Chains A and B, each alone.
Chain A
Amino acid sequence: MTKPESEITWKDVDIGGIVTEPGNAVQYKTGEWRSQRPIFDKDKCTKCGLCYLYCPEGCIYQTDDGYFEVDLFYCKGCGICANECPPKASAITMVEEEE
């Protein structure tokens, strides 16, 4: 289904709801579920990569300069990255999403 979900009509539904486009789960915006977002502080970050390893959504990635960023399209705001960031660094804080 190439249309956004909110525009799909019943006539667009494939036989038995079969998905014919492999890998289209990347279009599913799980970021909408988030009530908190992680903020990364580059001054404190030691580039250890624990946030990247622990992220259950796989939406934290390393940039060219070695620091880490989050893809907010997928980030559900679970806070595991902030929890796993070593206490000596505490480079990630969770902040409330504004309405």
Chain B
Amino acid sequence: MAKRVGMEVSIAIGEVVKLANADVIAAYPITPQTHIVEHLAELVADGELDAQYIPVESEHSAMSACLGSAAVGARTFTTTAGQGLELMHEVLYIASSMQLPLVMMVANRALSSPLSVWNDQSDAMAVRDTGWIQIFVENGQEVVDNVLCAFHLAGDQRVLLPVMIHLDGFFLTHMVEPILLPEQSEVDNFLPLHQYPLPLHPDKPVTMGTFAPPVVYSEIKKAQEMRLEASKEVILECWKEFGNHFKRYYSPVESYHSEDADTLLLTLGSSSETAMIAIDKMRGEGRKVGLVRIRLWRPFPFEEIRQAVKDAEVLIVLDKAISFGGPGGVVCSEIRSALYNQSKRPKVISFVGGLGGRDISPQGFEEIINKGVEISQKGSEREFEMFGVRE
């Protein structure tokens, strides 16, 4: 049976990558992800994890090394944050379009300038279109569980795509939390052997990363899109199988007190649990408020989102990233798109907040909800509100 341990979430990630028996880790340390790579380097150096640890000179090289590793069929892991993810940017597209299965943790961090090591989700939103499966988690246990699911998914023959897990830097990476770490035997029962169907091997030569002229490029892109869309069924199946093994269940969109709510708040990541405190308090005061959280960001869960918000009058979306000169938040913009053609849909109000590590307290979420309801009734001159900014 799994033991409940008190552990820093970053260390727990190292431990679960060890349990998943990763073959190759190529990573470059960057705050707030550093403890993850430090711990993995230690596990490999101490002989506790039989893996190749590749120290690289940059994140661009880290992701490039991961491509090579995944291409020979090794179970591959990396992790980064903020500027590091941006430096990887062009290589991220190559991982997904070449269908190289690997797993990456992103310790979400604000982007420079001004330099900030603190959390928001600007880095995550900047890699929205890279073709990876992307999952947001809310606490340490979800991180551990979803790392196992990510390895399971990435290597599934029907998927064969890279998987990115977003966890909020510091808010999650540096927390000491009670975590159920599974036994090795439990992990071995859940996680199949990693077998890439067409690995680079001299006995059966293949060509990867070829050039494509205009006459076939679009066909290859459509194949990529269809594969990412089709991965959703496998993701659902994977979470179900995980639930059967470990009795913890995940779904693409999760709701909290949303059944009869007229006002809904939508969040991604660790702020969801703080928002629940506000929801509890407001429910106690007789307010019909609820919370909707997106766990699966790509492929986007259209049906689940429509289902989750269809009966609400107001939907307030909190983005922890800003789309400059645009509609405000990327998440809100996507939610609006998903709902636009629905005959019955809530008014959608966009808030941007929690940037560069600015904390949003339960009281803050209460203010966001109240202000959102007010805007839904009176309107606003702006496309979106920035929460908590001194005027």
Q: Mark A residues whose CB is within 8 Å of B.
A: 5-6, 8-20, 22
Contacts and interface: CB of A to CB of B under 8 A. Distances in A.
Given A5-B213, A6-B215, A10-B226, A18 B220 contact: no
Contacts of A16: 97-100, 160, 198, 208
Nearest to B226: A10
Main secondary structure of the interface of B (DSSP, over half): loop
Given A15-B160, A15-B197, A18-B198, A10 B207 contact: no
Interface residues of B, number: 22
30 contacts: A5-B215, A5-B216, A6-B215, A8-B216, A8-B219, A9-B219, A10-B219, A10-B223, A10-B226, A11-B223, A12-B219, A13-B219, A14-B198, A15-B99, A16-B97, A16-B99, A16-B100, A16-B160, A16-B198, A16-B208, A17-B97, A17-B209, A17-B210, A18-B98, A18-B207, A18-B208, A19-B208, A19-B210, A20-B198, A22-B207
A69 to B, nearest CB: 27
A15 B223 CA distance: 9
Interface of B: 97-100, 160, 197-198, 205-210, 212-213, 215-216, 219-220, 222-223, 226
A19 B207 contact: yes
- 3 pairs of A and B residues whose beta carbons are closest in the complex: A16-B99, A13-B223, A10-B222
Contacts of B206: 18-20, 22
Contacts of A10: 219-220, 222-223, 226
Contacts of B160: 15-16
A11 B222 CA distance: 9
Contacts of A5: 213, 215-216
B198 A17 contact: no
B210 to A, nearest CB: 6
Given A8-B219, A17-B212, A20-B206, 17 more contacts: A5-B213, A5-B216, A6-B215, A8-B216, A9-B219, A10-B222, A10-B226, A12-B219, A13-B220, A15-B99, A15-B160, A16-B97, A16-B98, A16-B208, A17-B97, A18-B98, A18-B208
